[in-house]
């Protein structure tokens, strides 16, 4: 039963990846505000994060 769950998870992740490829990899959930918007992918400390234009503007205001 546990194996089954793992397999379903793998299928789910795979379809999510395919969907991301089809949508052009730019429509993501923003890691800052949690809203699904057009996001930029940023690589920070080896992990990729997504940031929408609104949050990016806010960070720019802070001088980031
Ligand atoms: Zn945001």
Asked if residue 37 is part of any domain, the answer here is yes
Q: What is residue 30's predicted lDDT score, i.e. its pLDDT?
A: 92
Q: How far apart are CA 38 and CA 44, in angstroms?
A: 19
Asked if residue 7 is part of any domain, the answer here is no
Asked if residue 33 is part of any domain, the answer here is yes
C-alpha 22 to ligand 1 mean position (Å): 22
> Are 63 and 56 within 8 A, CB to CB?
no
Asked if residue 16 is part of any domain, the answer here is no
Write down the pTM of the prediction. Answer: 0.51
Domain range spanning residue 52? 25-64
Question: How confident is residue 64, by pLDDT bands cut at 50, 70 and 90?
Answer: low
- φ/ψ of residue 53, rounded to 5: -65, -35
Asked if residue 11 is part of any domain, the answer here is no
Count the helix, strand and coil residues of the chain and give each as a percent rounded to the nearest 5: 45, 30, 25
Question: How confident is residue 48, by pLDDT bands cut at 50, 70 and 90?
Answer: confident
Asked if residue 64 is part of any domain, the answer here is yes
C-alpha 23 to ligand 1 mean position (Å): 19
Task: Work out how many domains the chain is built from and give that number.
Answer: 1
Rounded to a whole number of angstroms, the distance between the first and last alpha carbons of the chain is: 48
C-alpha 19 to ligand 1 mean position (Å): 21
Asked if residue 54 is part of any domain, the answer here is yes
């Amino acid at each position: 039963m546990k194996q089954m769950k793992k397999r379903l998870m793998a299928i789910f992740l795979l379809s999510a990846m395919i969907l991301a490829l089809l949508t052009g990899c730019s429509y993501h959930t923003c890691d800052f505000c949690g809203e699904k918007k057009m996001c930029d992918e940023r690589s920070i400390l080896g992990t990729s994060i997504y940031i929408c234009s609104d949050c990016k503007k806010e960070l720019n205001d802070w001088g980031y």
